[in-house]
Amino acid sequence: MKKLLKYLRPYKKECIISPLFKLLEAMFDLMVPLVVKVIIDEGIAKGDSGIIGGNFAVLVAFAVVGLSCTLVAQYFAARAAVGVSTDLRRDLFAHIQKLSYGEADRAGTSTLITRMTGDINQVQSAVNLTLRLLLRSPIIVLGAAIMAFAVHPQGAWVFAVVIPLLALIVFSIMLKNRPMYRRVQSGLDRVTKVTRENLSGVRVLRALCREEDEIKRFSEANEEHNRAQNLAGRIAALMNPLTLVVVNAGVIVLLLSGARLVEVGSMSQGDVVAMTNYMAQILVELVKFANTIFTVNKALASADRVQAVFDTPAGMPIRQSTDACATDSAVCFEQVSLTYAGDSEETLADVSFSVPRGATVGIIGSTGSGKTSLVNLIPRFYDATKGRVTVGGQDVRTMDPDALRAKIALVPQKAILFSGTVRSNLLWGKPDATDEELWAALERAQAKDFVQKKEHGLDEPVLQGGKNFSGGQRARLTIARALVRDAEILILDDSSAALDYATDAALRAALRTLPHAPTVFVIAQRTSAIRHADVILVMEDGRLADLGTHDELLARCEVYREIHESQYQRGGETA
């Protein structure tokens, strides 16, 4: 939490003005019982209407000035709270964008979403209430006690008993509740995770008729979150009744002792009313203070969770230069192994190969054989746990990540489009691309025809996730986005799976005629998609089973031959 206090620095003015005006309001509030005392003892007791009218005007003036102070304090407190949350959310989002794939995987998407939204909202509420009430409430409580002793020291002994008891209750409940609110926020992470999975996979759920199972899973997560909230809420709910009991008991004792003192003439009726009003002020402020403490408690737990994300190292360290392999190689793997965090087994084991510049590399293998993991090491989305990967003869761990990824265009396995237009999505590949370059990329990706048929062409709207385009159209648009980049290395991660054979063949032919002759990696499930590649890597259980051309692998690699023959027999494909 202390590390997040730096976000208050740009709002020093607001952090001073808001509590200052709240303290001014508190001073006027503390003066009110004294004015009421004068009205009772000097005005009503003596029947002096002038004193009554004059002091009533003073009360009205206090109310107007107090309201003005409140409005000023509320405005600056809200301004600081919104500013802090805005800056915090911006920096947190920027930090998340810099996290490596491994760190993002460990944190989890649902957790990061909750911390970006719910946790920062808790911090915003806490900043607002802290600036408005955290100083005002203690000042009112202590000030009321001091004023009560000033009014009548002998009758104010009740305050000396009530205030320590109230402090003990408030701080005991606060210390008890803080760890509970951490568990509440963790439970919210789980609810968010289940909700996100259900919304993302709603079509699969309905197709497999698993709605009831998922409702049950959500209910279990929700009930667990509910139990944690109820437990924290029950303890928090003790605050108001316990403070009310103590304060009201103090009021009763104050009235009883005050009545005796009035009877013997050592205390006036105005004194009793003034001290009763001070006790009432303490009660009201303690209720406000209790709510502030609960909000701050939640915010402290949320702030710790937000800080935990900031404490996660962003990006990957750039290592010192090492000896490079042959400079004529576009990509070189040297005895590379990869183990994901938390896994006990290697995903890739002892993979070695070298790819010359401008070559086309096909990668094939059964599901889970490590094909995607292999290509994810090239742009350094993950670091190899053993061995090294070089691009252009330089170890990727010694290269600036932005400079490395500027050389690479990647089409992920899942076609992802962003809300906007066709043009805005293509410009992600190259922000300064001209319309001619965009149309050329669409033509090579076999997407030009259907984009031209759209009413707005390049400016055709793209809904969230590209849901207004078919699966094949989304795949072709993501390929076009990569082609616009004119990168040295092009990686197609099973991006042709949604394409028919004719479109896939036309796409492969277009890739062979790219003017800048990139090094192309093609992950495919069909041997027909990679049979013309310069070299084919056959992956099996995270190992490189063999590499060579299509004909060479058919002759000597049993794994490749089985894949090819199973597809040939099933689909009759010969090309």
pLDDT, tens only, 243-270:
778 878 887 887 788 788 777 777 788 8
Nearest to 87 by CA among 399, 310, 363: 310
**What does the pLDDT look like over 372-395, one tens digit per residue?**
899 999 999 888 999 999 998 889
| 296 and 353 assigned to the same domain | no
Q: Does residue 178 surpass a pLDDT of 60? A: yes
Task: Report how far residue 515's alpha carbon sits from residue 518's, in angstroms, rounded to the nearest whole number.
Answer: 8
What was the pLDDT predicted at 483?
Answer: 92
Q: Is 206 exposed, middle or buried (0-12, 13-18, 19+ CB in 10 A)?
A: exposed
What was the pLDDT predicted at 426?
Answer: 92
Lowest-confidence pick of 81-85, 151-155, 228-232: 151-155
Looking up residue 538, the CATH number of its domain turns out to be: 3.40.50.300
Name residue 295's amino acid: T
Asked whether the beta carbons of 479 and 409 are under 8 A apart, the reply is: no
What was the pLDDT predicted at 274?
Answer: 82
| 335 and 299 assigned to the same domain | no
| 210 and 238 assigned to the same domain | yes
Q: Could you tell me which residues are beta bridge partners of residue 362? A: 522, 536
Q: Does residue 216 surpass a pLDDT of 50? A: yes
Other C-beta atoms closer than 10 Å to the C-beta of 207 total: 9
**What does the pLDDT look like over 337-349, one tens digit per residue?**
998 877 778 899 9
Give the residue from 283, 310, 337 where a domain finishes. Answer: 310
- Determine, yes or no, domain membership for 108: yes
| Greater model confidence, 88 or 238 | 88
Ranges of H-type helices in 427-557: 435-444, 448-453, 471-484, 501-511, 550-556
Question: What token pair was written down for 432?
Answer: 């300064």
The total number of structural domains that make up the chain: 2
With cut-offs at 50, 70 and 90, classify the pLDDT of residue 572: very low
Once rounded to an integer, what is the mean pLDDT over residues 142-170? 80
Q: Which residue range is the domain that position 538 belongs to?
A: 329-571
**What does the pLDDT look like over 357-369, one tens digit per residue?**
989 999 998 888 8
Asked whether the beta carbons of 76 and 308 are under 8 A apart, the reply is: no
Residue 474 DSSP class? H
| 387 and 461 assigned to the same domain | yes
| 212 and 356 assigned to the same domain | no
| Greater model confidence, 435 or 241 | 435
Asked whether the beta carbons of 330 and 356 are under 8 A apart, the reply is: yes
| 160 and 286 assigned to the same domain | yes
- Determine, yes or no, domain membership for 1: no
- Determine, yes or no, domain membership for 324: no
| 520 and 454 assigned to the same domain | yes
Lowest-confidence pick of 99-103, 321-325, 371-375: 321-325
- Determine, yes or no, domain membership for 317: no
Q: Does residue 63 surpass a pLDDT of 80? A: yes
| 285 and 363 assigned to the same domain | no
What was the pLDDT predicted at 77?
Answer: 92
Nearest to 486 by CA among 459, 517, 463: 517
Q: Does residue 575 surpass a pLDDT of 60? A: no
Using alpha carbons only, what angle is made at residue 77 by residues 72 and 78, rounded to the nearest 5 degrees? 100
Helix (H, G, I), strand (E, B) or coil at 260: helix
| 262 and 370 assigned to the same domain | no
What was the pLDDT predicted at 136?
Answer: 83
Instruction: Indicate the angle between helix axes 211-237 and 239-264, nearest 10 degrees.
Output: 20
Give the residue from 249, 282, 310 where a domain finishes. Answer: 310
- Determine, yes or no, domain membership for 218: yes
- Determine, yes or no, domain membership for 97: yes
What was the pLDDT predicted at 327?
Answer: 58
**What does the pLDDT look like over 538-567, one tens digit per residue?**
999 999 999 999 999 999 999 999 888 888
Please state, rounded to an integer, the average pLDDT across all residues of the chain.
84
Is the pTM of the predicted complex or chain greater than 0.85? no
**What does the pLDDT look like over 152-165, one tens digit per residue?**
777 778 888 887 88
| 391 and 299 assigned to the same domain | no
What was the pLDDT predicted at 321?
Answer: 63
- Determine, yes or no, domain membership for 510: yes
Q: What are the strands, taking DSSP E only, across 288-437?
A: 329-338, 348-356, 360-365, 386-391, 394-395, 408-411, 420-421
Task: Report how far residue 272's alpha carbon sits from residue 528's, in angstroms, rounded to the nearest whole number.
Answer: 96
What percentage of residues in the chain have a pLDDT greater than 90? 26
What was the pLDDT predicted at 68?
Answer: 92
Q: Report the relative pairing of strands 360-365 and 535-540 from DSSP bridges.
A: parallel
Sign of CA dihedral 486, 490, 495, 497: positive
Asked whether the beta carbons of 544 and 346 are under 8 A apart, the reply is: no
Describe the chain by its helix, strand, coil percentages, rounded to 5. 65, 10, 20
| 164 and 287 assigned to the same domain | yes
Give the residue from 310, 343, 363 where a domain finishes. Answer: 310
Looking up residue 27, the CATH number of its domain turns out to be: 1.20.1560.10
| Greater model confidence, 254 or 448 | 448
Q: Does residue 82 surpass a pLDDT of 60? A: yes
Sheet of 386-391, strand order? 348-356, 329-338, 386-391, 394-395
What percentage of residues in the chain have a pLDDT greater than 70? 96
- Determine, yes or no, domain membership for 53: yes
Sign of CA dihedral 60, 66, 67, 69: positive
| 294 and 394 assigned to the same domain | no
What was the pLDDT predicted at 544?
Answer: 93
Q: Does residue 306 surpass a pLDDT of 60? A: yes
**What does the pLDDT look like over 492-537, one tens digit per residue?**
988 777 777 888 888 888 888 888 889 999 998 888 888 889 999 9
Q: Does residue 574 surpass a pLDDT of 50? A: no
What was the pLDDT predicted at 263?
Answer: 76
With cut-offs at 50, 70 and 90, classify the pLDDT of residue 323: low
Question: What token pair was written down for 215?
Answer: 């409702």
